[in-house]
Structure 1
Amino acid sequence: MFIGFAEVCLRICGRSSVSEEKRSLQTKDPAIAKKRHAEALTEVETRWANLRAGPQTLSERQAHEIAAPWHDRWLATYKDNPSAQTTWRVDLAERLWGVAAPSKAGTLSVNFLLEVDADESKLRDMENWCRAGARECLKSSGLTVNADSELILARALSFAIQRASLTLARYAKGEFGIGPQSSTSWHTDVVTSSELAKSISLTELFEGWSTERKPAAKTLYEWKRVLQTLEAFLGHGDAGKISSEDLIRWKSSMVDAGLKSRTIQNAKLAPVRAVLQWGVDNRKLGKNSAHRVTIEVKSIATERKRSFTDEEAKVILAASLLEKDTVKRWVPWLGAYSGARVSELCQLRVNDVIEVDGIWCMKFDPEAGPLKNNSSERTIPLHPALIDSGFLTFVKGIKTGPLFPHLAPDKFGKRGGNGTKVIGRFVRSLGIIDTRLSPSHSWRHRIKTQGRRHSLAKDILEAITGHGRRTVADSYGEFPVEALLRELSKIPTIAL
């Protein structure tokens, strides 16, 4: 008998000892055992990942995806004798979850009242059964959710069972030819067998995805390389033939090669998952084999990026004053007093330094070069320290065009790529070698640290750094430059 097992520390479940999870694969056939082992491993890894993630909130889409297999199991249970399905009352399903019973005009008979009472009892039984099923789903997948999410899942289960029961009712009348509807992704209708049989390459899916999504050139380049690497590993590029087992083997090979979990999750699995999901959403694939293939990403304190300290900031800014290279001279200063990304600063043009309501500002405009997201497009005031240091004089000395014309764009057309290398070598040459520091990005960490230290308004600080707005309320109104300058000026000038 083949036994599938794995080992994990179960402290996340309230236990303090290391334990094994063992499960019989119920076969002596090696080929079947191999397939079942991969499926069991995927299920176990998913459950553990969910347990580690802690409490979650389910969307309706996620709930329907979790409930989808129940449709097929219900169908499979009764497909040979569909008339035997009498547990689920399809005629009552529309009244589940608190919908009132229909009323009848005139005097209500005793028989009708008894009938209503019986229906109400059956409705409660069906609801309770769905709630129990939801709890079973959550337990088996290791998900922890709040009461609202549990109800959303229970409702999704009722919809899945209702669809399957309606299909069985048609089967009972001899209307066959309607197959399973489960999938790990959202469908507005059933994918036909002819559509599932179509072969489509990863390259075709990627081209479709990139045409629609229009990603940045760097993303396009990196994701294409990931898919090419996956093709080389599999020995083929047929997206329809890729299984979860294939992707688990690929993940394991990357772990064995020494890649960090964060790299595997975010730079390898995420692109594959996104491209396959695009194929599912656009009716080119029947399922997303990467949907639940994940890897735990641990947060390690020694790897977490940190801010520049006051002393480190002084060393860098003082050294910048002595530089003739304008990138080394101004990019650290601009970063220190704005928290802007190096890529944004390196592509600034003369006409991006503007005066708004009598206040000098920097404008980050997508016409100057690619920006990370919509929130990155913004106008922020110049901190008084930049004006005192002579930044406006520097800008006025350039007639037109980029502020750093000698900084050549990289192969993706971004000056920031080469600017990051220049700043990186410069900062490291000053003896600042802590790997938790990013020579460029640690200014962004510092501005947030300083914002907390000097009580800057949170929404204004996020508007300055170009971080996304988290709620609809955050998108209301504008951020006047005088308000931005008022808050930004709370951050003191670094004494050199």
Structure 2
Amino acid sequence: MPLAMSRPFKHPKTGIYWLRKRVPDELIKLVGKREELRTLGTKDPALAKVKHAAALAEIEAKWANLRSGEKSLTEREAHHLAAPFYDRWLQRYLENPSQQTDWRVDLGLRLFQPSLISANYEFLYNNADIVLDRDELRVREMERWCLEWADSCASNLGHRLAGNDNRILARAIGAAVQRASIALQQLAQGVSAAVPIAASSSPIFASLHSQEPFAFSDLVDGWAKERRPVEKTLYEWSRVVKQLVAFLKHDNARALTGDDMVRWKEAMLTEGLRPKTIQDAKLAPVRAILQWGVANKKLNSNVADGISLDTRSKQNEKKRSFTDEEAKIVLTAAMASSDPVKRWVPWIGAYSGARVSEICQLRREDVVEIDGIWCIKIMPEAGSVKTAGSERIIPVHPALDKSGFLKFALQKKAGPIFPELSPDKFGKRGGNGTKVIGRFVRQLGITDPRISPSHSWRHRMKTLGRRHGLAKDILEAMTGHGSKSVADAYGEFPVEALYRELCKVPQLNVGVAK
């Protein structure tokens, strides 16, 4: 009995028609699943038949390519496969061509040219004299996009490319996007340009709606399993994704569009969220997770790419340092407090420039004597640090010593020196410490919103460093700011050198504890 012809089937709950086709046994390992399942995106039975026929033809063509084995690609064939990328890029920005800023036309001709920068950045370790060129890094990023798009293109079409052919396809894709970007540049200037638009979507850019659903939670789980973020990051990023899902009112990552991301961004602006919060705490996590999905063939493209907003603060919104007078007010009040947190956290911040989270998680064993100089160690064993450069040693400033900090710290038993601060669900004391210090400083009458009760000490340390001529590399080493060039990462920072520079910061006249 002949098998029934594959036909659209209606989803029992949504009424939307779907395609379902069993993968031939010999192709299951190559396809990675036993069944092709994709939505046709319509409830109209007549339209569903048309879409079903087109989707079925794409699948059969893909399977035919897979059966043909490894393929050697000519440049002509690569440009043919890359042609739809021109159409797609053009369509994406056609209505507002000036908004195309992701692809740097001025750098397009530098793609896939010999470079000091290799894909795995080995140059960082082999050449101490190279200062990173932002344009060169941007070129490498554009090349990475092209290579990932080439992977996705070949995978979608069932091509198993031989040897270096993926790079040939990536170069062709880069050329297509370059041409489209030049056309958009001309259109943005009011110059007529030849802009042929594909009449219908290519299989390479088949709508994400035509693939089986992929839950955002599965995307986050896959990203987390591979990247292994710290617990707090996983919690916060998962929460952001859940907020996006609530806004979308669906949980299909493959149905997410660039327009959805723009609408979400605009909704958050309407709610009153600060642009920097939206950019760094909302869009950036989603963009990173989607990029993992693209790199691991879960998604066709990262629709969050290029969606951003201006986060530059207005002059009257920029955070600033404590002035000498403000610093005296806070430190004098701190000396009079019986609360160890209020007493010592501002003083440590004032004479070290350490982050409040780093100060609040200090342990007795982090206060050590090195080469005759008492120091504070900022170590991941005490709690997570912001970056690799955040792990460091800071000498105890003479003013901090005279104030009685060493006597306070050295009498503590092993463990946190601020046990009064309750750790949060992730074991961190910094959040509660920030709240305590925030209320304390504001109650002293320092209400300028440009002052951050805890973080303005870091601003002040950089200001004092410039005022009193501290060596820039040593100041950055003490504050835990990253090096700007490969050469900066060479050698060590002797404690005596750190102490010599730190002592250039003068002690404020606020009295000394007896």
TM score, norm. by length of structure 1 = 0.66
Q: Secondary structure at the match of 1:490?
A: coil
Judged with a 3 Å threshold, the aligned counterparts in structure 2 of structure 1 residues 230 and 487 are, in CA distance, closer, same or farther, namely same
State the alpha-carbon separation in 2 of the partners of residues 385 and 359 from structure 1.
14
Partner residue, 1:139 = 185
Cα displacement (A) at 1:197: 3.2
Kept in 2: contact 1:201–1:237 (CA 8 A): yes
Q: Secondary structure at the match of 2:369?
A: strand
Partner residue, 1:59 = 139
Kept in 1: contact 2:363–2:415 (CA 8 A): yes
- Give runs of aligned pairs for residues 24-173 of structure 1, distance below 5 A: 40=94, 43-47=97-101, 57=135, 58-63=138-143, 65=145, 133=179, 136=182, 139=185
Cα displacement (A) at 1:64: 6.4
State the alpha-carbon separation in 2 of the partners of residues 262 and 131 from structure 1.
30
Counterpart residue type for residue 396 of structure 2: L
TM score, norm. by length of structure 2 = 0.64
Judged with a 3 Å threshold, the aligned counterparts in structure 2 of structure 1 residues 387 and 197 are, in CA distance, closer, same or farther, namely same
Q: 1:461 aligns with which of 459, 475, 488?
A: 475
Q: Secondary structure at the match of 2:238?
A: helix
Cα displacement (A) at 1:452: 0.4
State the alpha-carbon separation in 2 of the partners of residues 372 and 469 from structure 1.
14
Partner residue, 1:451 = 465
Q: 2:321 aligns with which of 288, 292, 307?
A: 307
Judged with a 3 Å threshold, the aligned counterparts in structure 2 of structure 1 residues 493 and 209 are, in CA distance, closer, same or farther, namely same
Range that drifts further, 428-437 or 278-287: 278-287
Q: 1:218 aligns with which of 207, 232, 240?
A: 232
Q: Secondary structure at the match of 2:284?
A: helix
Judged with a 3 Å threshold, the aligned counterparts in structure 2 of structure 1 residues 213 and 140 are, in CA distance, closer, same or farther, namely farther
State the alpha-carbon separation in 2 of the partners of residues 301 and 49 from structure 1.
30
Partner residue, 1:492 = 506
Q: How many residues align?
A: 363
Partner residue, 2:42 = none
Kept in 2: contact 1:47–1:140 (CA 8 A): no
Cα displacement (A) at 1:41: 5.5
- Give runs of aligned pairs for residues 54-453 of structure 1, distance below 5 A: 57=135, 58-63=138-143, 65=145, 133=179, 136=182, 139=185, 197-453=211-467
Cα displacement (A) at 1:402: 1.0
State the alpha-carbon separation in 1 of the partners of residues 140 and 386 from structure 2.
29
State the alpha-carbon separation in 2 of the partners of residues 484 and 431 from structure 1.
34
Cα displacement (A) at 1:296: 2.5
Q: Secondary structure at the match of 1:229?
A: helix
Judged with a 3 Å threshold, the aligned counterparts in structure 2 of structure 1 residues 424 and 131 are, in CA distance, closer, same or farther, namely closer
Q: Secondary structure at the match of 1:354?
A: strand
Q: Secondary structure at the match of 2:393?
A: strand
Q: Secondary structure at the match of 2:218?
A: helix
Per-residue CA deviation, residues 343-389 of structure 1 (Å, 9 max, x unaligned), is 10111111110000111000111111111111111111101111111
Judged with a 3 Å threshold, the aligned counterparts in structure 2 of structure 1 residues 433 and 383 are, in CA distance, closer, same or farther, namely same
Judged with a 3 Å threshold, the aligned counterparts in structure 2 of structure 1 residues 323 and 276 are, in CA distance, closer, same or farther, namely same
Per-residue CA deviation, residues 156-187 of structure 1 (Å, 9 max, x unaligned), is xxxxxxxxxxxxxxxxxxxxxxx86689xxxx
State the alpha-carbon separation in 2 of the partners of residues 354 and 328 from structure 1.
23
Per-residue CA deviation, residues 436-472 of structure 1 (Å, 9 max, x unaligned), is 0000000000000000001111110000001112221
Cα displacement (A) at 1:63: 5.0
Counterpart residue type for residue 45 of structure 1: Q
Q: Secondary structure at the match of 1:59?
A: helix
Per-residue CA deviation, residues 185-205 of structure 1 (Å, 9 max, x unaligned), is xxxxxxxx99x8343211111
Q: Secondary structure at the match of 2:419?
A: coil
Cα displacement (A) at 1:38: 7.5
Kept in 1: contact 2:363–2:414 (CA 8 A): yes
State the alpha-carbon separation in 2 of the partners of residues 475 and 64 from structure 1.
26
Partner residue, 2:197 = none
Cα displacement (A) at 1:254: 1.9
Judged with a 3 Å threshold, the aligned counterparts in structure 2 of structure 1 residues 386 and 135 are, in CA distance, closer, same or farther, namely same
Cα displacement (A) at 1:50: 8.4
Cα displacement (A) at 1:47: 4.1
Cα displacement (A) at 1:259: 2.3
Cα displacement (A) at 1:213: 2.2
Counterpart residue type for residue 225 of structure 2: T
Verify: 1:480 aligned to 2:494, yes or no.
yes
State the alpha-carbon separation in 2 of the partners of residues 376 and 429 from structure 1.
31
State the alpha-carbon separation in 2 of the partners of residues 64 and 215 from structure 1.
23
Judged with a 3 Å threshold, the aligned counterparts in structure 2 of structure 1 residues 377 and 47 are, in CA distance, closer, same or farther, namely closer
Kept in 2: contact 1:48–1:142 (CA 8 A): no
Per-residue CA deviation, residues 13-47 of structure 1 (Å, 9 max, x unaligned), is xxxxxxxxxxxxxxxxxxxxxxx998546754344
State the alpha-carbon separation in 1 of the partners of residues 103 and 176 from structure 2.
25
Cα displacement (A) at 1:216: 3.1
Gaps of 5+ in 1: 1-35, 73-92, 98-125, 144-178, 184-192
Kept in 2: contact 1:322–1:329 (CA 8 A): yes
Per-residue CA deviation, residues 311-346 of structure 1 (Å, 9 max, x unaligned), is 000001111110110111111000000000011011
Q: Secondary structure at the match of 1:247?
A: helix
Cα displacement (A) at 1:266: 1.7
State the alpha-carbon separation in 1 of the partners of residues 331 and 320 from structure 2.
18
Judged with a 3 Å threshold, the aligned counterparts in structure 2 of structure 1 residues 421 and 130 are, in CA distance, closer, same or farther, namely closer
Kept in 2: contact 1:46–1:294 (CA 8 A): no
Gaps of 5+ in 2: 1-89, 106-132, 153-166, 190-201
